[in-house]
Structure 1
Amino acid sequence: MLKFRRIILWMVILFLVITIPLLSYAKSLPKFSFGSRLLYTGTYGTDVLKLQTILEQAGFDVGTIDGIFGAMTLNGVLDFQREKHLKVDGIVGPQTYAALENVHWTDPLVYRIKPGDNLYTIAKKNGTTVEDILKANDMDDPDNLYVGQQILIPHPPVVVPPELYGATNYQELKQNIEKLISQYPGKYGVYFIDLNTGQTFEINGYDPFIAASTYKVPLNFYLYTLITEGKIDPNMKVQYTKVDYEGGAGSIQFEPVGSYYTIRELSRRSIVESDNIASNMIMRVVGRDNYIKFMENLGAKVIPYSSNIASPYDMSMYMKKLLEYENEHPDTAGELMYYLKNTIYGDRISYPIPDNIEVAHKVGNLDNVVNDTAIVFHPTKPYILTILANNVDGSDNSYAYTVIRQISKMVYDFQNK
């Protein structure tokens, strides 16, 4: 028995010795531009991560998406090459790259249903509607899903008029964006920050806009400063009361009044789901006057004293200061940044950006408002982009979403040159 225990102990030690360095390594993959080299068994890097993401979205099983070209990734590449009538050699070269790029931008995504999935969250995450998913799959019942089922998700490419490309500097990029938004009704505000150089440009950047749910960024930022300072315990439980109720986004509205939630759970729902009740409960805990003072101290230009307003500058400033704060306090504020990177909404700034590039963002919606503020963690040229659209059609997939996606693609492609 003692000998058996020693064998088990050594097996555990061996597993940890192998696995821990591997996991640590996977988090710091070497960076390669997609298409810059041949990929084959044994290669690793951010380009392999993108390869795995594209194949997985196209319905080819690659196992764990970890940036390491192993046996499962090889099988996915071979299956892809067979389907596309390419040379079946397991090597990702020019022809396979071309086919992969075409799949990424033009083919519907192939998605496997996971436990807890529903078509609403799948649609929001992928920038489409439940109706469009049902139509693409010839389905009648949105609730008739099963774990492991593969469904097609419409994912049309973002097309920017050719005449709006070719900018050589930020001033020209700004002018091209102005030409784009001049073709649509409503008012748009843009504020951009290059995180490497500090260069900025803005369009209506200091004007007041209805913030909608983007206000949840400074609210949660303030909450996490209190957590960092030990003034609030993230595991403290707060009771949901009638005064907290608000319809719209979020799932707490479907749960019984009187339920208890930890501060951490309220923050997660407030950001990931944009839950209005969770945000109201957080505001009740931290105090609205304190929240207002926090924004004043950060240097906001438009303060929501009597209505929920902000400027594009303010939202980009909040994101920049949050990023700096998270770098100083990763153990606490890192949790908030994780929520921002994993919201259920992928229909605006993040939509045209390759899936292997992290985007921390927060959307906001009303009947006549479509907003998004984001940190785009480009591997060499990270940036912050806020786009606020007021007096527009706020319904799903309206022209405002198209405009925001086009602006995002213009900015990303410029940074990616």
Structure 2
Amino acid sequence: MEQLRQHIKRIIKQSGGKWGISIEELGTNNSWGINEGDLFYAASIIKIPIMTAVFNDYENGRLSLSNTLELKREEMVGGSGVLQHLSPGTKWTIYDLLTLMIIQSDNTATNMLIDVIGMESIQQMMKDIGMQDSKFYNKLMTVPATIQGYNQVTAQELTMMMKKIAMGKIISMHACEQMIAIMKKQQLTDCLPAKLPQFDSDIIGKIPEWQLANKTGFTSGVRHDIGILYVGDRAMVATVLSQDVDDNRSKDAIAEMGLEIYGYLKEE
């Protein structure tokens, strides 16, 4: 772990700006962080707590993942996602919207889900998880003129949340399995997994050397990636938050960190 710490510190120093890092190898006492208690603008990372709140309502019988919602033109917002480009009147299941929210970071899907479960449900779920400093106040891309606050997160609390999901300690084992399955389908792969080795096999069904369940977050001057990296029998939760870093440099730096974590987990 000491070598991994030094490598990440070197990457941070070369990149400038501010970083919040929290990493923990599951099943061990190996963990490390820097600025892990500092608040960062959440960007799309807030979609993971939103996902947990939706699954909590599902597990408690308040909604069905098969329920459908109609896409309305007045609900369409910009930024990430495909729904903003599709036809109003189409219907989507809650599970479809969850998937779009995570794997394409779809802001319209996110806001539709927030409307279904309510902001208070998300805020309470975050408290139940143990996220005392991280806060959720606003829908995506629709910040009102007068706001109570900005969506904020800490690296420490995000790692704690992801660890609980990985260990089946949020809502239920079944809910955690479904959340990880969705995150493993992530299509925004230009940060933590960008430099990981790609393996092609002629053997159908061969178990991949690594898997990553993750969620990115990005806006100008802010770039994050959080996830669970699985390599063989080992797994590590990694939260990487950045601000005031050149956009291209932050992307490359997070990819370098992902490669360093992979190398650490590959060690025998």
TM-score, normalization: structure 2? 0.84
1:308-347 aligned at under 5 Å gives the runs 308-325=151-168, 329=172, 331-347=174-190
> Aligned residue for 1:260?
91
> Aligned residue for 2:135?
303
**Matched letter for residue 259 of structure 2:** K
Match of 2:38 among 207, 214, 218: 207
Distance 1:313-1:327 versus aligned 2 partners, 3 A rule: closer
Contact 1:393 1:399 survives alignment (8 Å): yes
1:20-59 aligned at under 5 Å gives the runs none
**Matched letter for residue 292 of structure 1:** Q
Structure 2 residues without counterparts, runs of 5 or longer? 138-148, 199-207
Alpha-carbon deviation of 1:328?
8.1
Structure 1 residues without counterparts, runs of 5 or longer? 1-169
> Aligned residue for 2:219?
366
Deviations 1:102-151 (A, max 9, x none): xxxxxxxxxxxxxxxxxxxxxxxxxxxxxxxxxxxxxxxxxxxxxxxxxx
d(CA) in 1 for partners of 2:8, 2:78: 35
Match of 1:399 among 235, 249, 252: 249
d(CA) in 1 for partners of 2:91, 2:28: 45
SS of the residue corresponding to residue 365 of structure 1 reads: strand
Deviations 1:333-355 (A, max 9, x none): 43322220011111111123344
Contact 2:23 2:237 survives alignment (8 Å): yes
Contact 2:24 2:30 survives alignment (8 Å): yes
d(CA) in 1 for partners of 2:75, 2:19: 31
Distance 1:416-1:296 versus aligned 2 partners, 3 A rule: same
Percent identical pairs in the alignment equals: 24
Distance 1:327-1:282 versus aligned 2 partners, 3 A rule: closer
**Matched letter for residue 125 of structure 2:** F
Match of 2:5 among 149, 155, 174: 174
Match of 2:229 among 353, 376, 401: 376
Contact 1:361 1:375 survives alignment (8 Å): yes
Match of 1:390 among 225, 228, 243: 243
d(CA) in 1 for partners of 2:6, 2:84: 43
Alpha-carbon deviation of 1:198?
3.6
Contact 1:214 1:363 survives alignment (8 Å): yes
Deviations 1:174-207 (A, max 9, x none): 2332232112232111100110204211011111
> Aligned residue for 1:283?
114
> Aligned residue for 1:239?
70
SS of the residue corresponding to residue 79 of structure 2 reads: coil
Number of aligned residues: 245
> Aligned residue for 2:260?
410
Q: Relative CO higher for 1 or 2, CA cutoff 8 Å, sep ≥ 6?
A: 2
> Aligned residue for 1:272?
103
Alpha-carbon deviation of 1:209?
0.8
Which has more strand, going by share of residues? 2
CA RMSD of superposed structures (Å): 2.0
d(CA) in 2 for partners of 1:364, 1:331: 26
- Structure number, greater radius of gyration: 1
**Matched letter for residue 12 of structure 2:** I
> Aligned residue for 2:145?
none
Alpha-carbon deviation of 1:411?
2.0
Q: 2:79 matched to 1:248?
A: yes
Contact 1:228 1:333 survives alignment (8 Å): no
Deviations 1:2-32 (A, max 9, x none): xxxxxxxxxxxxxxxxxxxxxxxxxxxxxxx
Distance 1:411-1:299 versus aligned 2 partners, 3 A rule: same
Distance 1:323-1:244 versus aligned 2 partners, 3 A rule: farther
> Aligned residue for 2:196?
353
SS of the residue corresponding to residue 183 of structure 2 reads: helix
Alpha-carbon deviation of 1:324?
2.4
d(CA) in 1 for partners of 2:65, 2:161: 21
SS of the residue corresponding to residue 237 of structure 2 reads: strand
Contact 2:59 2:171 survives alignment (8 Å): no
